[in-house]
Amino acid sequence: MTSGCPAPAPTYAQQQMRAGTIAAGLRHLLHYIQSEPAVGQALALIDTDDLRGPLDGAGLQLLLHEIEAEHDRCAALAERDARRQEAGHLDGAACTCGHSDTLHTRHMTEDDRLPCHRPGCRCHDLIFELR
Ligand SMILES: [Zn+2]
Ligand SMILES: [Zn+2]
């Protein structure tokens, strides 16, 4: 294990520069929000806890990909739960292909299917037998 030196505390001059840079960015953004309220509404939708880097084009693009993936994942899991409940099964129930629901994809196909992931399984969609 290496114990590096702790980063030196920033000087007031550095802190001042940083605050000035952020303030300039915020003024710029506020200007856009005032002239284009839709920008402000869009920004208000973003949870800054989800951000792990700067809020620049690349950062927003990355966040968008992550949020879309999360949206897809939750949509697939919600669909899985709905199908399972509809059929009256509990968590971890098996599909008609014999594999557990958790072995099925967590990404809905274009035509709303949840195929099985198990190699060699030809199950095209997660289906529970009615109880
Ligand atoms: Zn299946
Ligand atoms: Zn299967």
Judge whether 1 lies within some domain: no
Q: Do residues 34 and 92 share a domain? A: no
Neighbours of 123 (CB within 10 A): 19
Q: Do residues 101 and 129 share a domain? A: yes
Q: Which residue matches tokens 């992931």? A: 117
Calculate mean pLDDT across residues 33-51: 91
**Quick check: helix, strand or coil at residue 78?**
helix
Distance 94 CA to ligand 2 centre (A): 9
Q: Do residues 65 and 111 share a domain? A: yes
Judge whether 60 lies within some domain: yes
Give the pLDDT confidence score for residue 4 in this predicted structure.
61
Q: Do residues 36 and 93 share a domain? A: no
Give the pLDDT confidence score for residue 87 in this predicted structure.
93
Judge whether 116 lies within some domain: yes
- Looking at the chain, the whole-number percentage of residues with pLDDT higher than 70 is 96
Give the pLDDT confidence score for residue 1 in this predicted structure.
45
Judge whether 2 lies within some domain: no
Task: Give the pLDDT confidence of 72-94 residue by residue, as tens digits.
Answer: 999 999 999 999 999 999 888 99
Distance 101 CA to ligand 1 centre (A): 7
Q: How many domains does the chain have?
A: 2
Q: Do residues 121 and 99 share a domain? A: yes
Return the ligand number nearest the Cα of 125.
1
Return the ligand number nearest the Cα of 101.
1
Structural domain including 119 reads 56-131
